[in-house]
Each structure stands twice: as structure tokens, then as C-alpha cells.
Structure 1
């Protein structure tokens, strides 16, 4: 018989297909929803979720206080808001946060899930349902080599390199902790692949005040975490481009693109980048 996750289980893993079905009617007219008191509450919860994503020290508890429907809606709204902002680093922070959150709830499932039922081996039915939906084939602590190689490609830990693994008859051996870690990585990759959404302009305009607050918090967080941007610490090639720009040299398109991309990736905001180009 097919395993059907409860509302509580879906609220802990709101990216699952079954979690999205209950909120589709809510989002059918998102513009109207945002203008209601309930919409403001959901947006506030979504903003809190994004703030948590950009905070280095996470605070997670096994229980989720909001209703399952509100929790899932806040998850969806958070993805819409970061899509409106369309900042690569912020999107990466949110998707990593969601993957880590799912990992936490899976590892600690026996603490919060009164419906916990052990399924295949040491793993619950819920873990199996999530792995099936994400197309992760692991049985008896073994995983097909092609699946394993695809899954670990973004990981840089040497222990995941195939040359360091135990491979027998086309299967890679993985332990219990690694199963959870590989599932977390698959969640992160899939959630990142789907962003940014194509959000209607009028929706982004309604969410603009919240987006502005998030950008401000994120920039402040980046400043606390990495300090002020110091040009003297830039790579020589970037320093040369800035020197040329300050001297009034007309940089090539490739030069402007490289410099802008570099400054954006180290956390400089649009205003700071514009001021730099104003030297020219």
C-alpha cells in the first residue's frame, strides 16, 4: 500500500509533490491573497524563513508551530520572494537552508514524528517515500555507480570520490550517515535547479518592500561575516581593471562583465558597484 505522509510530515518537507497540492488553490490568485491579513501573516513567515537562511547560526526545533498548510505556503512564498530579488547568493543560501532543514528533520524523525514507522532496514517509511520521489536508489547500503557519481559530483569531500569508495559489481557501499547526507545534497540540487521562478511583475511589486528589507539584512549579514570590501585584497587582475576604470579607460565588455561578476559574488551591493563605475 502506498505511503501517504501526514500533514505534519509534509510541513517538515514542503518540497514534496503531495505538500504542494493543498496550497495550489491559495496561490491561484496570489495577488489577492497578498492583500489580505492572512497573506501578510504568510509573507511575514516567509521573510522569517529567509532571514533564518542567511543567518550563520541556525536555530531549529523538532516541532513546527504553524499549521501544515501555513508552513508549506511560507516555504513557497519564500521561494517567490528570492526569485523577485534574483540574487544568486541569496538563492543559494535559501536552497541550502531548506536542504539542511530537511536533513535535520530526517535525522531526528523519532523525536518529532509520532507516526514514525521503521521501513527498509534502519530507515523509516517517510525516508523511503522521500528517497523514491527524489529518485535515489539505495538498497541494503548499496547504490548504483552511475547514480552515485551523479549525486556526489557537486561535493568536494575526498571521502566521496569514487576512487576512495568500496565498489562491488557496479554498486557503491554507503553507510547510514552518508545516506542522509546524499539525500540532503539531492534536495539542495533539485531546489536550486528550479530557481529563480518567473514571477509576474505585479506580484514582485507587491512584495518589493519585503524584498528590500531582506536585501538590507543580507548585506548587513555579509558585512558582519566577511568585513568591508577592501580593494587592496582583490586579485591583481581585478585591481588592474579597477585602476584602468579609475583612469578613465573604456573597459571592454568582457572586462566590465568580469569585474561586475566578481564584485557581485563577493557581496558588494548594486549601489557600491555603481559608485565604482562612476569613477570612470
Structure 2
């Protein structure tokens, strides 16, 4: 089918080639654009987009502010800005945001637009059309095997594993809601592979003041989310893996993957993670660095893998020494954040008690008033 997106759809899916063609020639060169008021407004729009991307809880609304052209240009500039920052985690945040945003519009477009409302027995025409634009073929209830395998490779949800699928005549069976999820993943992979752009140093220099502020905001966001690394707040499963490494025990592949993704997410750098494996009997520095970089998205396809949830950890036998807090969470990162909050609260209370005790004991007396 030939997909002719409306202006509204172009603003919803600005990564489409047709969206880029729509604004081609409407703006002057980036170098000159950034020097006028129009360019300043577009940069602000791009920075707002990135700010949304690093915000933990994202809220999407049906209406897009500004013109279609400004929305597409803001999207493109956001990618230029993160390329200047050149931080893989920030780039991953933006690509995930763009794929989630497109997913939101894709799922809801049928309700907003009469042209795409689904009739009984008919598949989503917009979903199929968008998928074709992105180079994948999706029908009512199935998808080509090759396309499916590529898309689900980074996904760790058990329901996407081939052993849980019906495969027939080189096609994999899928459900309606999964079509949207697979298109979302296709968008994320496509955008991630294209970043960072090779941006001329002159452009990055013009954006430098804004980039500095963005870096500061991002660092504050990461600090607020996970703070400094505190091993005492690690969940029992991660503590057990580190204890095994310290004792010179080889970890299973699942154990290495889980520990590496966990440490990477809470802010440990690649070199620090790789050094932890130095006591393994089969330690090979070059191979270990390659594996760590691959898992953290700094090598290979650029895919940054997520820490497995507690359910997956139980399946692989990594979930050990469960405590009371384990019963209340479903993910190692949730445990870590909750434990850090709990420790911070206890520290604050202890400080308050200590202050009161000092007053009672007369260790800190107020100065004698003058007579």
C-alpha cells in the first residue's frame, strides 16, 4: 500500500523519510539558522524534547504544539544536540523516547482519525503502512520469520521467544497489540543505529552553552534517580554475584549479563565493570572489555540491554537469599532505589537523634549572654 501521511502524521512520526522530505529546503543551513531567532526557538524546542526524554515519567498528549515543520526540525535538532554531547546513555534515552512517542500516536491514531478506525476482522492500516515504510512486513496475525528474529533479539520478555511462538511457512504468529510493540522496537533500532551523527565541530561550538546546561541537567537527573553507587544497597542477587567474583568463581553467562547491566544502569563506567571480572579464573582483559561494551551498548549494534527483572532472575537461578524487601519489588533496580531511600531515611533520623542527645548531655551549650 502507498502511504501518504497527513501533515499531522508527519509531526507524529518525524523520523520518516517523507517527513524529512517535507521540510527539505524550508530552512537555511544549520550554521546560519542557529544564528537567528528562528533557530534559537527551534533549539529550545529540541532541548525541551531531550528534557522530556530524560524525565522518568513521560506524558504524551494527542496535540502537537507548533507547526509540522517546526516539530520535524525540532526532532532533527534534538538528534544533532545529543550527537554533540555524544553520551550513549543520553542517546539511548532519546531514541527510546522517540519510539515510545511514536507508539503512543500509533496506538491511539485509530481512535482520533476516522480513516484509520479498525473494522471487525480488519487489521490496522496505519500500523501496516508505517511498518512498510520502516522496511518490515506485518499482516493481520503474522510476520516474516527474518524480520521477527531481528526485532525481538534485544527483547527479553519470554512471550517473544521463538519457543513460545507458532512458526509456519517462514512466518511467525503475532497478536494485534504485539504489532505495535514490534513497530516500536523497529523505530528504536533504526534511530539508534543512526546516532551519533558526525556533526561539524563549528556547529557543536555554537551549541556548546546549551549542551553544557543539558549535560548538567542530565547528570542531576541520573544522580536523582540512582545517586552515588552504594554497594550496601545492592539486592541480594547482585551481592551474591560480586561475592562469587571476589572468591574467584566463574559466573554463568546469565550472571555476567545481569551484573553488567545492573552496574551500568546505576552509573558504573565500563572500565570499573570490567575490572570486577579480573579475579575470574578464565579472565581475559580484551574479551571481557568486548563483552562489557557489547552489553552496555558501546560496541557492536549499539544496543543497550536492560537488567533482567526478578522473574527472569528466578528462571536463571540467580535470585538467591531473598529478603523482606525482595517480596515487595519485581526488579533489582527497584530494590536498589528503595534500599537507598530507606538507608538515607535512617541516616537522617539518626542525625536528628544525635543532635538531641548532644543538647541533653550539655556537650554543646549556647554562649553566655553579655551582662
TM-score (norm 1): 0.81
Return the offset for 1:115. 4.7
Alignment deviations for residues 122-151 of structure 1 (CA, whole Å, 9 cap, x no partner): 303x32221111121122311122221111
- Displacement of 1:121 in angstroms is 2.0
After superposition, the Cα gap between the structure-2 partners of 1:228 and 1:194, relative to the gap in structure 1 and judged at 3 Å, is same
CA distance in 1, matches of 2:139, 2:156: 24
1:268 alignment counterpart: none
The answer to whether the 8 Å contact 2:33/2:39 transfers is: yes
SS at match of 2:116: coil
**Aligned counterparts of 2:78 and 2:93: Cα–Cα separation in 1:** 12
Question: Does the Cα contact within 8 Å between 1:49 and 1:78 map onto a contact in 2?
Answer: yes
- Check whether the contact 1:144–1:171 (CA below 8 A) recurs between aligned residues: yes
Taking the aligned partners of 2:80 and 2:132, their CA distance within structure 1 comes to 26
Secondary structure (helix, strand or coil) at the match of 1:172 reads strand
Query: How far off its partner does 1:24 sit?
Result: 2.5
Q: CA deviation at 1:177?
A: 0.6
Match of 1:214 in 2: 214
Counterpart secondary structure, 1:108 = helix
User: What is the deviation of 1:94?
Assistant: 0.2
Asked whether the equivalents of residues 123 and 139 of structure 2 are also in contact (C-alpha less than 8 Å), the reply is: no
8 A contact 2:151–2:186 mirrored in 1: yes
Gap change, CA 1:27 and 1:153, over 3 Å in 2 = farther
Which residue is equivalent to 2:225? 225
3-state SS of 2:46 partner:
helix
Q: How does 1:89-168 map to 2 (within 5 A)?
A: 89-113=89-113, 115-116=115-116, 118=118, 121-124=122-125, 126-168=126-168
Distance 2:139 2:217 in 1: 44
User: Which residue of structure 2 aligns with residue 171 of structure 1?
Assistant: 171
SS at match of 2:29: helix
Tell me the secondary structure at the aligned position of residue 143 of structure 1: strand
Does residue 44 (structure 1) correspond to residue 56 (structure 2)? The answer is: no
Which stretch shows the higher mean deviation, 76-85 or 17-26? 17-26
Greater RCO, CA 8 A, separation 6+: 1
Query: How many angstroms does 1:4 deviate by?
Result: 1.1
Give the superposition deviation at 1:172.
1.0
Using a 3 Å threshold, how does the CA distance of structure 1 residues 239 and 200 change in structure 2: closer, same or farther? closer
**1:170, CA displacement in angstroms?**
2.2
Cα shift at 1:54 = 0.5
- TM-score, normalised with respect to structure 2: 0.62
In the superposition, relative to structure 1, how do residues 142 and 216 fare at CA in structure 2: closer, same or farther (>3 Å)? same
| Distance of aligned partners of 1:63 and 1:215 in 2 relative to their CA distance in 1, 3 Å threshold | same
User: d(CA) in 1 for partners of 2:79 and 2:190?
Assistant: 13
Whole-angstrom distance in 2 between the partners of 1:34 and 1:117: 41
